[in-house]
Structure 1
Amino acid sequence: MLWACVLLPQLALDGVLRRRSGDGPLVLVAGAAQARRIVAVNAAGREAGLHPGQQLSAAQALLTPFDALPYDPGMVERWQRFLAAVAYRYSSEVSLLPHAIVLEVSRSMGLFGPWPRLEGLLRADFTALGFRHRISVAPTAHAAYVLAGVDDGQAVLAPEALRRALQPVPLRKSRLPAAAAEALPGMGIRTLGQLLSLPRDGLRRRFGAELLAALDRLTGDVPAGLEIFRPPDSFDLRSELQHEVENLAALIFPLRRLTGDLAAWLTGRDGGVQRFVLRLEHRDGSSTDVPVGLLAPERDAGMLFELARGRLEQVQLPAPVLALRLVARELPPFVPAGRDLFDERPANALPIEQLRERLRARLGDRAVHQLGSTTDPRPERAQRIAARDDGWQEPSPRPTWLLERPIPLRGGAPRILAGPERLETGWWDGGEVCRDYYVVETAQGQRAWVFCAPGEQAGWMLQGWFA
């Protein structure tokens, strides 16, 4: 087996920074009101002399102004579980460790390619989402976890190389039980290599079975004993804004983040979304819901953003917005649209499904319809507005634009391209017709579908236009 570890050293800070557009000094603080200390600090704050562990009062004396936000352990857990769902696309065995995600990748490499390529895919996903990370791979989950804390990019692909890779690791970075990691350096044991060479009976008598169990999990002598993570069946993510927003344009940045997160999460669980809700939260506790519905499941980030923005732009805000929340509970399976190997469409051409959804978002549900067929052969009754669940129809040999009722064809005599095709029907309901239909080209170069009385080629009536 091979386990990859994605270490997330600044998970809380990254979760805050990714929803902020500014780059000024920022710190996260925790502790009692009179003794708050800095837990995390961004790059601008570090350049100004702020650092973790510093008292907030001392930092304020050193630098003013800067933003100080409370450290939220609950938000750290939610971000970690969100990222685990994203990583789930690469393995069905995903587990959580403190500030880290581990996943079994030996079978995944048969699908995604050798480890360097799989590592690149993981890095691209986490970088795009705005989370700093360190990645390593090793034959055991705990060894990968330890190696990621020592250096980024370590790769131990063979079990026989694992002990050699662990030997130089300092005990302070070994993630062993705290009591043993603190006591052993005083006994002259400072690396994992020195510790692994000691007699096990002596370690058991002095430190108990907990230390030996941790070493066995590290080297793979016993199973890792990790709980397997499973993505939830619904998506619910909230973005708190920096200040009250009264203009919808200020919601575009957090909206792009939320829809991008939804797309990444859907890819991880190999699903799509057909309906979701944007919830605009106001100061008085009320909210404005903006429903977004699609005719078919989708998970493309750009498309989800465009659709959500189109719906949002139609809203009149009753009050300033404090937070934006995206909730998706209907998550049907996703089947990618088929493409021809030699697709001749322009590179920037939209698939019909995406064009359809964008038009619906911009113009409204009632402005865009899909056509369905009937069993009536009369052209004026052969098409209908299809129900939403009927699916889009295959192209018809008839014109895509059929007039509501036939009208005389104006202009000079048309050039006949095909026909006649006789339709004689409708005798059962009093609407009997008997017509000869032709495909013609008008003097202006338009292609039309026309008819006339049987056996004649005059008195043309226009039934529809070909695209």
Structure 2
Amino acid sequence: MRWACILLPQLALDSVLRGRADPDAALALISGTPQRRVLQTVNPAARALGLRPGQSLGAAQALSRDFAMLEYDPARIERAQQFLAAWAYRFSSHVSLHYPRCLLLEVESSLGLFGPWPRFEARLRDELNALGFRQRIVVAPNPAAARMLANVHDGLAVDAAGLAEALGRMPIERVGFTREVASAFARMGVRQLQQVRNLPRESLAKRFPQDVLRHLDTLLGERPLALRCYAPPDRFDVRIELNFEVESHQALLFPLRRLTGDLAAFLAGRDSGVQRFTLHLEHRSGEDSSLPVGLLAAEREAAMLFELARGRLEQLQVPAPVQAMRLVARDLPAFVPQHRELFDERPQQSLPWEQLRERLRARLGDDAVLGLGAVADHRPERAWQAAPVARSETLQQEAPRPAWLLREAQPLREFAPRILAGPERIESGWWDGGDVRRDYYRVETRGGQRAWAYRRVGDDGPLQLHGWFA
């Protein structure tokens, strides 16, 4: 087996920056007691001001006040790690959160689907960068070795033959031993893991806890590491707290794009779609503003979900400034991709009908977009009716019918048209006062147009034009 470790070295910072419209502005996450506030982590812009992790808030503010502060929130970090596990579940059925701030993926069984490891790795990095998370990725024959090698490597891929050598060069303080054990080895002059392996096991067993030998065997793949695999939840619930109170729709589009993008990544991991979700706008006082978004069919494309939510949001009158946005999706049916042709013959700027339909519904309202429903009536003008798109159906008729039916028939202004088929007699409607008795013909005009015309039974007058064939 081959395991990939995706180490997230700045998960706390990335989980905050990805929700900000200005990620390059100076930012520090702070923690500690009210009496002593300490900088937990800072972004590069804050480092340029002289700020460092572990610095007291007072000392940092003495250097500069041109930086934003947010509370270091372990719950936010946990939510981000759970979201990334849901994303990674798309690539492997064995995903584990055994170690903090990293993902473990069994990738051997996924190479046949996603290609050789260099291509697979590039895809993982591209998607993580798009989601806003920095990463280091290492592949090794077992998950423990992959995790420890990620402490000092990025992009390394080792097989079973080269594992011992790669681990042997690792600094002793970076291979997962406790601080006390690493210090004891350092006092003995042991600097690399290979030097530990060269020591007699009996001596190690006497001088160090049993965990040392167990951990050493686990790194070398001689002892299995028990992992608890991740199982994706049955709902999506993500919240983004805004930097300040927002009153305009335009300022809400950035967090909305991030939420819908996260929803799309979550759905891809579960191999499902979404047919209904709710966008909550949180205010300082009063109830949240809820914005339900419903689709006629399950979808999971990020751009489409964003456009639909955006169309609904722009129609909403926000009653008060917004402090946070939350997206909740519980209706997650199985996703069946639409059948597509190998060569797309549509113009480059045109949209598939499904996407155009959903955009129109989002912009104009659910009742503004209608379809056609069949009615059990032989009279052409009564054989269909407007119906909501969700309940409309494809009109199928045994006899050919024109695509364009005139509202009222009118005399066919054509001298001696060519008759292609007919007559087809339609007699119906005697029971409701709308009795019709007509003989229909398919005709062709001198200009090559094909029409549907009729003559009333017993009437020798001109043909009445009722529709045009496409």
Same fold judged by TM-score > 0.5?
yes
Task: Decide whether the 8 Å contact of 2:372 with 2:392 is kept in 1.
Answer: no
Tell me the secondary structure at the aligned position of residue 318 of structure 1: coil
Match of 1:199 in 2: 200
CA distance in 2, matches of 1:180, 1:409: 100
Match of 1:153 in 2: 155
Q: How big is the shift at 1:347?
A: 2.6
Task: Decide whether the 8 Å contact of 2:373 with 2:395 is kept in 1.
Answer: no
Q: 2:216 is aligned with what amino acid?
A: L
CA distance in 1, matches of 2:448, 2:305: 40
Tell me the secondary structure at the aligned position of residue 160 of structure 1: helix
Match of 2:456 in 1: 453
Give yes or no for the alignment of 1:426 onto 2:431: no
Q: How big is the shift at 1:185?
A: 1.2
State the Cα deviation string for residues 30-60 of structure 1 (Å, max 9, x = none).
1112222111111111122212111111111
2:145 to 143, 146, 151: 143
CA distance in 1, matches of 2:419, 2:183: 91
% identical aligned pairs: 55
Match of 1:210 in 2: 211
State the Cα deviation string for residues 337-369 of structure 1 (Å, max 9, x = none).
111223311233211110110010011000112
Q: 1:451 is aligned with what amino acid?
A: Y
Give the 3 Å change call, closer, same or farther, for CA 410–6 of structure 1 in structure 2.
same
Match of 1:82 in 2: 83
Q: 1:16 is aligned with what amino acid?
A: V
CA distance in 1, matches of 2:449, 2:320: 53
CA RMSD of aligned residues (A): 2.4
Match of 1:367 in 2: 368
Match of 2:58 in 1: 57
Task: Decide whether the 8 Å contact of 1:28 with 1:69 is kept in 2.
Answer: yes
Residues 343-362 of structure 1 mapped to structure 2, 5 A cutoff: 343-362=344-363
Q: How big is the shift at 1:371?
A: 2.0
Match of 2:440 in 1: 437
Match of 1:282 in 2: 283
**After alignment, is 170-179 or 328-337 more displaced?**
170-179
Task: Decide whether the 8 Å contact of 1:424 with 1:432 is kept in 2.
Answer: no
Give the 3 Å change call, closer, same or farther, for CA 392–123 of structure 1 in structure 2.
farther
Give the 3 Å change call, closer, same or farther, for CA 30–366 of structure 1 in structure 2.
same
CA distance in 1, matches of 2:15, 2:245: 20
Match of 2:327 in 1: 326
Match of 2:18 in 1: 18
CA distance in 1, matches of 2:119, 2:304: 27
State the Cα deviation string for residues 229-269 of structure 1 (Å, max 9, x = none).
01111000111111111111111111111111111111111
Tell me the secondary structure at the aligned position of residue 33 of structure 2: coil
The number of equivalent residue pairs is: 465
**After alignment, is 374-383 or 451-460 more displaced?**
451-460
Tell me the secondary structure at the aligned position of residue 89 of structure 2: helix
Give the 3 Å change call, closer, same or farther, for CA 457–112 of structure 1 in structure 2.
farther
**After alignment, is 16-25 or 379-388 more displaced?**
379-388
Give yes or no for the alignment of 1:178 onto 2:166: no
Task: Decide whether the 8 Å contact of 2:369 with 2:389 is kept in 1.
Answer: no
Give yes or no for the alignment of 1:9 onto 2:12: no
Tell me the secondary structure at the aligned position of residue 234 of structure 2: coil
Q: 1:10 is aligned with what amino acid?
A: Q
Give yes or no for the alignment of 1:68 onto 2:69: yes
CA distance in 2, matches of 1:291, 1:167: 56
CA distance in 2, matches of 1:457, 1:30: 94
**After alignment, is 278-287 or 358-367 more displaced?**
278-287
CA distance in 2, matches of 1:222, 1:323: 47
Task: Decide whether the 8 Å contact of 1:422 with 1:434 is kept in 2.
Answer: no
Q: How big is the shift at 1:440?
A: 5.5
CA distance in 1, matches of 2:306, 2:13: 25
Tell me the secondary structure at the aligned position of residue 325 of structure 1: strand
Q: How big is the shift at 1:151?
A: 1.5
CA distance in 1, matches of 2:69, 2:156: 35
State the Cα deviation string for residues 111-136 of structure 1 (Å, max 9, x = none).
11110111011111101101111111
Q: 1:463 is aligned with what amino acid?
A: H
1:99 to 95, 98, 101: 101
TM-score scaled to structure 2, two decimals? 0.92
State the Cα deviation string for residues 74-122 of structure 1 (Å, max 9, x = none).
1001001101111111100000121000100001001111101110111
Q: How big is the shift at 1:446?
A: 7.2
Q: How big is the shift at 1:410?
A: 7.1
Give the 3 Å change call, closer, same or farther, for CA 274–200 of structure 1 in structure 2.
same
Tell me the secondary structure at the aligned position of residue 119 of structure 1: helix
Task: Decide whether the 8 Å contact of 2:95 with 2:104 is kept in 1.
Answer: yes
Task: Decide whether the 8 Å contact of 1:423 with 1:433 is kept in 2.
Answer: no
Tell me the secondary structure at the aligned position of residue 193 of structure 1: helix
Tell me the secondary structure at the aligned position of residue 89 of structure 1: coil
Match of 1:241 in 2: 242
CA distance in 1, matches of 2:419, 2:128: 59
Match of 2:466 in 1: 463
CA distance in 1, matches of 2:59, 2:396: 72
Give the 3 Å change call, closer, same or farther, for CA 76–442 of structure 1 in structure 2.
farther
Give the 3 Å change call, closer, same or farther, for CA 416–176 of structure 1 in structure 2.
farther
Give the 3 Å change call, closer, same or farther, for CA 180–444 of structure 1 in structure 2.
farther
Match of 1:261 in 2: 262
CA distance in 2, matches of 1:6, 1:38: 26
**After alignment, is 343-352 or 68-77 more displaced?**
343-352
CA distance in 2, matches of 1:391, 1:212: 69
CA distance in 1, matches of 2:416, 2:320: 61
CA distance in 1, matches of 2:201, 2:442: 92
CA distance in 2, matches of 1:63, 1:318: 37
